[in-house]
Structure 1
Amino acid sequence: MRSSSPAFTFVDLFAGVGGFHAAMRSMGGECVYAVEIDKRAAKVYEANWGHPALGDITADADDDLGIMNVPPHDVLCAGFPCQPFSKSGAQRGMDETRGTLFFNIASIIKAHRPKIVLLENVRNLIGPRHQHEYDVIIETLRELGYHVSDSPAVFSPHLLPPALGGTPQVRERVFITATHAPTAVPEDVEHGGPAPVATMADRFGDFDPKRDWRVEEMLDDSHNVPGCTLSDSESHWIRAWDELVQIMRPLMNDRPLPGFPIWADSWLDFREMKAIDWDAKTIEVPRTVTVPNVDPALPAWKQSHLRKNYDFFARHFEVLIPWAHYWKVYTHAFPASRRKLEWQAQDAKTLWETVMHFRPSGIRAKRANYLPALVAINQTSIVGSRERRVSPRETARLQGLPDTFVFPDQPASATYRQMGNGVNVGAVWHVFKRHVRRDLELLRGDAVGRSICKAVEESPNRPNEVLARHRPARA
């Protein structure tokens, strides 16, 4: 995949296993520096890309120590962690980034002035608690001479059709894209800069993510993938809730379950439920039930939640009580975290048609169009049609990595964590191409910019064709 004369050079900061690398290299770029502090991730990076990555950016890039190991480059990529900036005092811009990891990125930019800066972060970076941090990042980039929008590009790979490199994973991420163009900065400051290169409202032809994605198309056919099968307890919980789905459908005229979380523990507030011996072999279902009062001191959301569950139980207790007894819902077989079902699967007929998440707050079921975002903690999605969790290989596929991508000598838990922390290759590809096309006139002002533009214009619509030729540097 490597060209003898690269179209551009790039650095890969907070590199993970190389999602940025996959996109930039497929576009014709050559990595001249990569850094990743996690030893396992750095090992995967080097095994696939043949480039060392293990290191500490705080040692390699600091205004006080100098830019020790970072060479000149044309494109800077960084999926950096979001660290809080101090709101104390009146300091702004470069001075205020000190003590955060963005400070180290800014130090590299200040030293080398790469033509394009491409930053990625979690959606929460632009939430109300982090607005200050986001503003400081934009101000710092402008101080360094970069043409950048006040508004972030927020994008998810599930919006892209397969022909453009999309994958069925809802992964909303913030992208900050900037071009070195000092003459454009004064107008940006006055008018807010250019439009963001991508938004969650973007659509591509007649492709409808809710209609056209089928997550099963990204999965292996096997039901028995080692390490991904369901435990007996997990199967019990799913079968129990699935039976409730089947019981309720005719009672609700074949309509879907309610949209609010069904919380079996709330039914214990009924005094008639307190009188039942749930360990007995047989129980007697009461003729009527008495609806409890809702404590007005509770938060409004919880009051609403309880009222809906009380009403649901009062209307259907004659079937809910026998169901709860048969499946031992109120025994050790059913921990409290599994007594709540959040049905977001619309008209799915059964839980085995959905994608499920076992969350600390309960079981969430969604339609099997696409998966929720992969996360670095143990909440791996369960695909009902496979009766198992998504495999490590499948998570890599959902992040846009080819099946030839290797994870040598590491447990599945490490791969899940790396994919949960990673950047989606197709999303990076799309955002980078859109950025270059937006800033085309600015980029064409010098040889480096023209070379980047040419690489983008000559690249395929998606990275998959290039990544299909990927071979690991060493297994």
Structure 2
Amino acid sequence: MFEFVDLFAGVGGFHAALKRLGGTGVQAAEIDRHASAVYQANWGLAPVRDVRTLAADPAALVPEHDVLVGGFPCQPFSKSGRQLGMAEERGTLVHDIVAILAARRPPVIMLENVRNIAGPRQRVVWEAVRSMLRETGYLIADEPLIFSPHLLPPELGGAPQVRERAYILGVYVGRAHAMRETNIEHVLRNEPYGGWDPQNWSLEDHVLLPEQRGDGHRATRLDASEESWINTWNGFLAHIGAEAKLPGFPLWEFEWKARRSTLAGLPDWKADFVRKNHDFYVEHRPQIDAWRRQFPQVSRFPTSRRKFEWQAQNSDRDLWKLLIQFRPSGIRVKRPTYAPALVAMAQTPIFGPRRRRLTPEETARLQGFDPASFTFAGQRPLLSYKQMGNAVNVGTAQFVFAKYVERNEAHIRRAGPGGERVVRAVESHWAPRGLAAPSS
């Protein structure tokens, strides 16, 4: 059995993953009091409030441990944020992680963030993070490992959610070695694993729970406006006809009659969208005009609900059979195989066949938590949705960590008694779950 410290712990995605692999949490840190309460209710460990407090004197405040994990704040690096990286205060929390590592030197580390941390706009940030970890003595690949739960089959901990995340894994080898050995091959590629086909996912089979009566899931219900938006665009699909090809670009209903002269001064990307939408309207003018006569309310919808994006390929053109997401960028429709990434904002997917949003418990299943044991401790659903949008996916974290330990067994054993404990625990806790042991 090995011991781990869980920083930026949320509700315990990393805790669940490492516990399944034989780990015991000895310390956690989480600044959000609601998430902290859920963490304590599930794992029996009360998180301290602020990582910065621990980093001020880690030798005294952080217990010895074998593994350090943390889903450090992603907003400074996310495409949905301002992408200020290290310039934003939350981005500097990486320095606090490094301070703890320098003092305690756990044999293995695993950090998680949005994929964009290694994107073009954050390149300098990623290089700084990588350099700090190497200077502290950790063997770090040139690029973070990118992986998503929908690429794993269910028996290996996968889940029907597209959630590409960057995983930063390292083993303590000392500064000289870490600075010298940098050409490190990842244990996984960002592609379906073991011949799995992600189109085999089914939200109905793998995520949805039996319907409950009463007011228990009031937050999942659609209001009259939301049903009107869906029915109106369903009417559009009916009018346009099954033979008409739906484009890959978003449809902007309010731009369908735009004059070409209005393109002057628009950014190139927007002018291109407007031009494509105008051409689409001209091609289908009779059907679209008939639809507008039947559904005149579309002109009164909020702008974001006058935008429509079809990503359901050759599915039946009935929104009530598909997965729907109300996004700031418009109404997006997908096949009900796997869901888009959960986010902390109010974009919980709507499962058309049941005419409701996913429940908080169902979003927990998307994140790999065990519905038989995980609890939200009676909190408001909106808090639960937010926490699942911020959570580390349990199955992915477990699989990536086990693969990393298997591939780097020699380095980890040489890191000391703690490394030996990590290797032995993963070896003994992986196969008994009825799975094939991770292989290279």
Q: Same fold (TM over 0.5)?
A: yes
The equivalences for 1:208-247 within 5 A come to 208-209=197-198, 211-217=199-205, 218-222=207-211, 225-247=217-239
Distance 2:178 2:253 in 1: 57
Secondary structure of 2:219's aligned partner:
coil
Q: Residues 73 and 220 from structure 1, CA distance in 2 versus in 1: closer, same or farther, beyond 3 angstroms?
A: same
Secondary structure of 1:459's aligned partner:
helix
Q: Quick check: 1:36–1:42 contact (8 Å CA) kept in 2?
A: yes
Deviations 1:364-401 (A, max 9, x none): 11111111110001111111111111110000111111
**TM-score under structure 2 length normalisation:** 0.90
Q: Residues 125 and 462 from structure 1, CA distance in 2 versus in 1: closer, same or farther, beyond 3 angstroms?
A: farther
425, 428, 436: which one pairs with 1:455? Answer: 425
- 1:363 alignment partner in structure 2: 331
2:184 maps to 1:194: yes
347, 353, 356: which one pairs with 2:314? Answer: 347
Q: Quick check: 1:266–1:306 contact (8 Å CA) kept in 2?
A: yes
Computing the radius of gyration over CA atoms, which structure comes out larger, 1 or 2? 1
Q: Quick check: 1:79–1:120 contact (8 Å CA) kept in 2?
A: yes
Distance 1:123 1:186 in 2: 24
Distance 1:116 1:66 in 2: 17
The equivalences for 1:13-92 within 5 A come to 13-62=7-56, 65=57, 67-82=59-74, 83=76, 84=84
Q: CA deviation at 1:462?
A: 9.3
Q: CA deviation at 1:36?
A: 0.6
Q: Quick check: 2:360–2:385 contact (8 Å CA) kept in 1?
A: yes
Distance 2:303 2:211 in 1: 31
Which runs of 5 or more structure 1 residues have no equivalent in the other structure?
A: 1-6, 88-96, 271-291, 466-475
Q: Quick check: 1:74–1:114 contact (8 Å CA) kept in 2?
A: yes
Q: Quick check: 1:61–1:68 contact (8 Å CA) kept in 2?
A: no
What CA RMSD, in Å, does the superposition of the two structures yield over aligned residues?
2.2
- 1:298 alignment partner in structure 2: 266
Secondary structure of 1:100's aligned partner:
helix
Select between 21-30 and 214-223 the one with higher mean Cα deviation.
Answer: 214-223
Secondary structure of 1:21's aligned partner:
helix
- 2:285 alignment partner in structure 1: 317
Q: CA deviation at 1:226?
A: 2.4
Distance 1:299 1:375 in 2: 28
Distance 2:355 2:128 in 1: 47
Q: Quick check: 2:232–2:298 contact (8 Å CA) kept in 1?
A: no
2:80 maps to 1:113: no
Q: CA deviation at 1:251?
A: 4.7
Amino acid across the alignment from 1:185 = A
Distance 2:86 2:395 in 1: 34
Secondary structure of 1:343's aligned partner:
strand
Secondary structure of 2:263's aligned partner:
coil
173, 183, 188: which one pairs with 1:181? Answer: 173
The equivalences for 1:333-344 within 5 A come to 334-344=301-311
Q: Residues 388 and 375 from structure 1, CA distance in 2 versus in 1: closer, same or farther, beyond 3 angstroms?
A: same
Distance 1:117 1:394 in 2: 30
Q: Quick check: 1:223–1:388 contact (8 Å CA) kept in 2?
A: no
Q: Quick check: 1:212–1:369 contact (8 Å CA) kept in 2?
A: yes
Q: CA deviation at 1:330?
A: 4.5
Q: Quick check: 1:165–1:462 contact (8 Å CA) kept in 2?
A: no
Distance 1:413 1:399 in 2: 16
Q: Quick check: 2:336–2:351 contact (8 Å CA) kept in 1?
A: yes
Q: Residues 447 and 348 from structure 1, CA distance in 2 versus in 1: closer, same or farther, beyond 3 angstroms?
A: same
Distance 2:242 2:173 in 1: 64
Distance 2:266 2:308 in 1: 22
Select between 454-463 and 403-412 the one with higher mean Cα deviation.
Answer: 454-463
Secondary structure of 1:310's aligned partner:
helix
Q: CA deviation at 1:198?
A: 2.6
Identity %: 43
**TM-score under structure 1 length normalisation:** 0.83
Deviations 1:223-257 (A, max 9, x none): 864220111111111111112112223452xxx52
Select between 453-462 and 364-373 the one with higher mean Cα deviation.
Answer: 453-462
Select between 299-308 and 436-445 the one with higher mean Cα deviation.
Answer: 299-308
- 2:399 alignment partner in structure 1: 430
2:118 maps to 1:126: yes
Q: Residues 461 and 393 from structure 1, CA distance in 2 versus in 1: closer, same or farther, beyond 3 angstroms?
A: farther
438, 442, 449: which one pairs with 2:411? Answer: 442
Q: CA deviation at 1:153?
A: 0.3
- 1:289 alignment partner in structure 2: none
Select between 315-324 and 396-405 the one with higher mean Cα deviation.
Answer: 315-324
Secondary structure of 2:162's aligned partner:
coil
2:368 maps to 1:379: no
Q: Residues 235 and 131 from structure 1, CA distance in 2 versus in 1: closer, same or farther, beyond 3 angstroms?
A: same
- 2:438 alignment partner in structure 1: none
Answer 1 or 2: which has greater helix percent.
Answer: 2
Distance 1:317 1:329 in 2: 18
Count residues with an aligned counterpart: 418
Q: Quick check: 2:3–2:65 contact (8 Å CA) kept in 1?
A: yes
Amino acid across the alignment from 2:222 = L
